[in-house]
Amino acid sequence: MFAARPLLVLASLAVSVFGATYSISDSHVGKDFLSAFTHQAISDPTHGRVNYVSQSTALANNLTFASGDTLILRADDTTVLSASDAGRNSVRLQSKKTYTEHVTIWNIRHMPQGCGTWPAVWEVGSDWPNDGEIDIVEGVNDQTPNQSTLHTNAGCSMPSSRTQTGTSTGTNCDSAATNNAGCGVQAPQSASYGPPFNSAGGGWYAMERTDTSINVWYWLRNAGNVPSDVLNGAATINTSNWGEPFADFPNTDCDITEHFGAHNLIINLTFCGDWAGAVYSSDGCPGDCTTYVDQNPSAFSNAYFDIAWLKIYE
């Protein structure tokens, strides 16, 4: 048994570095998102200054627009709020299907920006944190770069040195032990998030989850190294051709099959709350977060996702 242990570690590293081949299982573009995802009109678990609305309300108020190869998800940018209002109207979409081992590729043209904003593209299990969480795109208050993070229950940590281009922000993935910070990795370029990402025309984010590793990549729109299968949303993909990920989460000290269950995919935009609100002033934003969000609707004219497509491979 002890002799097999190095072989398991080597297998883990091989998957993490060399990748695998996958076939497309789901493809969503434009109006496909409306049938494949549910608008969650729920209270914000992160305590944001937000009022998540239903799909019918989102469509009626143009907070969700889907046509052709375009999905727009945005917050209300016209209403001045009072203290008694529930929060700024916005959207939170959750996939109807769940996934375990898989790859997602998100073709994103634009992500929400502005002081007070907290957009995210992520995955989560039904029993949090026991089924784990994978944050693919996340940030607050226009602070770059992007950060990808794992959140788990106790017993999952990352090695301090691993094969990735990004910078680790912590190695303990246990949400309870880290005040919900988890184990994050910051991307190496500021253009991976927020206004710089949007100025570059967006790009692609990809996440690969196997039972031995979780990896995240991104490529800006005009980058010269975008893999052809990513660029074209091919029917089959080979992650071994994608180069070094910016975030590598191996199973060296984390049993992925134990800490990560079946996941729904989520896209959402909240305001203030546990993260954006906590660092709002230190991020150089004016006044206090809640007042700013309430009284400055026009500040959120660029607080929207523009998603060209989502491809899911298994």
> Can you give the pLDDT at residue 19?
77
Is residue 16 over pLDDT 50? no
Q: Which of the following CATH numbers is that of domain 20-313: 3.40.190.10, 1.10.1040.10, 2.60.120.200, 3.30.565.10?
A: 2.60.120.200
Residue-level pLDDT at 166 = 98
- For 162-197, write each residue's pLDDT tens digit: 999 999 999 999 999 999 999 999 999 999 999 999
Query: How many helices (H) and strands (E) in the chain?
Result: 7, 19
**123 is annotated as an active-site residue:** no
Question: Which residue is associated with the tokens 């907070």?
Answer: 63
Q: How far apart are CA 89 and CA 64, in angstroms?
A: 11
Distance (Å, whole) CA 286 – CA 282: 10
Catalytic pick among 101, 133, 244, 258? 133
Q: For 214-220, what is the mean pLDDT? A: 98
- 26 touches 235 (CB < 8 A): no
Find the mean pLDDT for residues 248-256.
Answer: 98
Q: Which of 101, 138, 208, 244 is catalytic?
A: 138
CB 116 within 8 Å of CB 293: yes
pLDDT of residue 283: 98
Each residue's pLDDT tens digit, 26-81? 999 999 999 999 999 999 999 999 999 999 999 999 999 999 999 999 999 999 99
CB 120 within 8 A of CB 284: no
User: Region 223-241: what's the mean pLDDT?
Assistant: 97
Position 96 confidence tier, pLDDT thresholds 50, 70, 90: very high
Question: Rounded mean pLDDT of the chain?
Answer: 94
Pairing relationship of beta strands 304-313 and 133-138 according to DSSP bridges = unpaired
**48 beta partners:** none
pLDDT of residue 293: 98
Separation CA 66–CA 99 (nearest Å): 24
pLDDT at position 9 over 80: no
Which pLDDT band, with edges at 50, 70 and 90, does 2 fall under? very low
